[in-house]
Amino acid sequence: MYESFYGLAEKPFALTPDPAFLYLSKRHQNGLTMLQYGLTLTGSITVITGEVGSGKTTLMRHVLRSLDPQFTIGYLTNTHPNIKDLLKWILMAFGLNYRNKDEVELYESLITFIIEQYAENKRTLLIIDEAQNMSPATLEELRMLSNLNAGKDHVLQLVLIGQPELAETLRKPELRQFAQRISVDYHLTPLTQDETTDYIRHRLITAGGDPRLFTKESCQTIHHYAQGIPRLINTLCEMALVYGYADDQKTITPDVVHEVVTYRQRGSVNPYKDRPVSQNQHVRQKTEEKTVVRTKARQQADLPQAAKESTPQRADLPLSPKTIFSPADQARLANDRAATLPVDATAERPLRADAEVDNTTQNRPDAAPPLTAVPAEPPQSSAQRLASIDPRALGRRIAPIRSKSQSET
């Protein structure tokens, strides 16, 4: 449908397990190593568990493609809780006749077959997929069959593949003998976000397509919805390609992925996680948080500096006969820190250009008339400043201080 539009040789996200598309993440590589090691142990029991769609069956089929010809393999895939006549199912898996035989004849047929394989220097391997469906009684019956031996060797080897419920069943007290026979067990966990991106690109390359068909952001969105489960990743990517093809989009963006999930959420069955916070909203939230942090830091750092800058350098100096301010200095001091200047009771009030006249003070008989600001003048030389001093004003400043000093002496 969309293969030619995107330049693909085949569908890259088919739901059926295909070893050709196997992507070996770190955990899948570990699972493969443990599985291969378990097969080297004669008569062993190997257990591989993982969530639904985590790639257990694909991993097992990959092993079977390169398995040594000395193995005679029986593959049982359709187990269920109420399975009966387990011997018939096992004989069918090995391609043996199981019809019109009672239980003793079925057991004899299986034992004869296994001994014949051992005599031909072959190893009999029984693989049971979806083993979490088997009841404890059925698993115990399976263990009894695995006890068959020839001399010192166990001649039937078992591999059980199932969901996490299988591990829970095997931990039951009545199956402690089975648990003790397990040589290798491994649990497959979901893919990480980076592994999901590599997984999607790996399958696109294997199908002959462009690995950049899905943007990095869309791969991250797919990981959020699918939670790293390969089967859900395949389903979501497959539908995204269909939607992109319908909209004539050459690149799959997060908007296409959101659209697919939104459509699935309308139905009664939705295997995907809730929609994540949009990228723009996420960036906006982070920006607001950083702005608040920067504002608080600036307030804490700048407040002491602002107080320091707003305080005149001569504000803490007492007014003395030798402290003479020019009109420009008086205007500046009046505007900045008039309230903090220590003014003598008989001295002239400092000038405040922006101060309002106090009506209460103005009505008092002894209140001094309000003064206006003196406009700033250009800098003067020392001679000019001395010439501009009013002797009467200077006398009024000096007289109280002189009287005080004479009275003390």
DSSP helix/strand/coil, 16: coil
Give the pLDDT score at 265. 81
pLDDT in tens, the chain (409 residues): 799 999 999 999 998 888 889 999 999 999 999 999 999 988 889 999 999 999 999 999 999 988 888 999 999 987 877 667 889 999 999 999 999 889 899 999 999 999 999 999 999 999 999 999 999 999 999 998 888 876 677 889 999 999 999 999 999 999 999 999 999 999 999 999 999 999 999 999 999 999 999 999 999 999 999 999 999 999 999 999 999 999 999 999 999 999 999 888 877 566 776 655 444 454 345 445 545 555 566 566 555 554 444 444 444 444 444 445 566 666 666 666 555 544 444 444 444 444 444 444 445 555 555 544 455 555 555 556 555 655 555 555 555 555 555 555 4
Give the pLDDT score at 148. 81
Beta carbons within 10 angstroms of residue 39's beta carbon: 19
Per the DSSP assignment, residues forming a β-bridge with 184 are 46
Structural tokens at position 202: 């790996």
Domain limits of the chain? 3-13+193-276, 26-188, 278-304, 327-408
Matching fold, domains 3-13+193-276 and 26-188: no
Q: Are 126 and 90 a contacting pair, CB within 8 Å?
A: yes
336-339: long-range pairs with CB below 8 Å, 24+: 336/310, 336/312, 337/310, 337/311, 337/312
Give the pLDDT score at 380. 58
Architecture per CATH, domain 26-188, reads as: 3-Layer(aba) Sandwich (3.40)
Fold annotation for 3-13+193-276: Helicase, Ruva Protein; domain 3 (1.10.8)
CA dist 347 and 53 (Å) reads 93
Give the pLDDT score at 334. 66
Q: Are 173 and 61 a contacting pair, CB within 8 Å?
A: no
pTM (whole model) above 0.75: no
Q: Are 224 and 191 a contacting pair, CB within 8 Å?
A: no
